[in-house]
Structure 1
Amino acid sequence: MDPLGMVAEVVELESLKRWHQVPPVHHLTDYSAIGEERKHATSPFPFNPAINYKIALWAGDISLLSVDAIVHSTNESMSERNPISDRICARAGPALREEIRQEVKECRTGEIRVTQGHNLSARFVIHTVGPKYNVKYQTAAENTLHICYRNILQKACELNLSTIALCVINSVRRNFPPDEGAHIALRTVRRFLEQHGSCLDLVVFAVENIDVGIYEVLLPLYFPRSLQEEEMALWQLPVNVGGPDGEPLLPDRQIRIIDNPQHSLDGDESVDLSSQLDSSITVGEHAFSHMQGDLDQQRLLGERPQTDPIGELMIKEMQSKESVCHIPLTRLGPDERVIYFAIYLTAVKFFTDFHKFFQQLIEELDALPARLGCRDSDC
């Protein structure tokens, strides 16, 4: 019942317009006429009437939809209070909260839990927890949101469901940008229907009024209703449209290849090995030692991270030893000189790899909370 005590009407699927039946809301801009360069040579999401028939956009109360399952976005303790959660729980009756309290209890970020629909028109409620958005862990948050949608669709197929209503999982309360969340949702659903479309007859994007405009603008990019919309999407789609499943892709790290590692980037630190073998080697003047002092400049485009305590500690330790490590090679025979020099180069490589390992370890530890999906109490 609604707040006035009136029995709310159930929304039957027959009353929903499929996506191909919805006329364009916005005028199609001819970007080629204004000379703007397209972002894609060919469409990553071509016009497909069969897929469009499986999509519907509906603005309203998701708890009223007569589908096999509706999606409920909540927190890890499954106790979040928001208008959508309140409507779902109110119409489902106290049995839903009791099932959550007795059997489900909790849900980790990115995971899903399934309960009965009880008094709802939907047979099941699929609960999920969207990620908190942090610029520092942007990729992890985007990937977790993709996993939420992907897990929901996979579970629907496992339960042999044919119709499902998706709410907007990304929440402004969790600082997730609405447009970025919509891009992830739309391309994840599109890729899933391309691969497993036979197991679902209808996917309803059930959005609140605040999100209607975003989905009206972005839906034609991922589900073009005509060849004209497909062509316009070549300019409007983001450059990065995700991987085969719609998952976010990490930007490739650019690596600088140096033809001769005996020469530094400065160009004036070359070493005459023959002259040094005839006399002596001063550790710290050789190009390999110079490379150790600035690893990121050698292997990456850009400066090294501003905070790298382990790397700085290692470099200072090596530099402190350089000042006292002057070994006259005149006392060594030719074979011994070669062996010594080989050991020296091996040691430098060891410290280089050692520094790289700890730097990567720090990065992995920093990103670990977001990848695992931190709990509300921890974030």
Structure 2
Amino acid sequence: MDTSTSAYRFLELVALSGEFPADNLHRMGIGENYGEKLVTKLKEEKLLKTHYKDKLRGYRLTSRGKKMLLAQNPSRFSFYLTGSSDTNQPRSDYARRLRLHQASRTYCLLLNSGITLFRDVKPAIFSGIPPDEQAPFPTPVFYHSREIKELGTETTKINNSRCIGVLFADRCIYVIFHTGDSVLKWEYKTEIRVKAFLSYHASQGILKSWYRHDTPIHALLIGKSMDIGIRLMTSTGGLRHSLFTLDTSFEYFHFVPDSRAGEIILTVLCRPGFSKQFSALLLSDLEAPDEKLGFEHDAVKNGNPVLLAYDFDMLRISRFITSLKLHQCSGHLICFDFQKEALLFYCGDTVTISTIDLTKFERRFFP
């Protein structure tokens, strides 16, 4: 099969996912009409099949589809299409299938953001083989949680983490979570151990050739829409305190929607040099921060503290609003236009908001 076709790229993601959500073809740039024809064709060729149960519809590879991909690129697909893993032998229970769907949606978002996923084009740093310390690390690059667990017993303590995997960017590491259309389950102690695990390897373990001991480790949550971001920010953990809350397991909790807008934010987050320059540009017409205010802010406008919120760090936004209410003063937020409605709902009349036009931003910086 021609590897440049939509059909091959689709089968490729089905292989990595185990089961690809049927409603996610548009995230690959495949229109509804063409998508139906493509799926029908692949089924006729006995490369693909549909699995539907518990109102969850997805696409899985057939045995013939697996054999075709393995024959074409074993170094890319053998990890996913051999053995008894969930990607090679997907189960039928709802929770495990939903996990596969969330991983698949994450892959689409990452690929559309220019992030490396495939095993044959990234170093096998968790395989137990000492990495080539002289070779460049192709950031940004993503490793699924199962790839990380190739390290063996060292990862036992983080087995219960809800993270999909880890994104290694330039001078920063992101632990990725997919929360879908609800508030995800959360175990504070486990996520603390994930951060400690990555901190250790960045300072003296397998990542020390590419990262410093003080490399920031951020949490990044992907959700269906900006409304989910607000549900996360206002969550108190549920009756049994088993759901997500903004705690201290990470110093940063970014939220991005599963959309083109989210891809742009993720691209910016993976480029700290660009983020720094862009932030400086946004703040260039404002006054310097006022130390007398006694809380975190980026600038002052007409006597009011200003916070850059375009990276949607939920923890930082929450602290800012709490401080404004405590000091009984007003503030100002700078964000992208698609984030404004959610922020107004969360902040109320505590702040005024100015927005960055996402379309113009993309056209200027990511043509």
**Which of the pair has more CA radius of gyration?**
1
The TM-score, its normalising length taken from structure 1, stands at 0.23
Q: Which has the higher strand share?
A: 2
Q: Which has the higher contact order (CA 8 A, sep 6+)?
A: 1
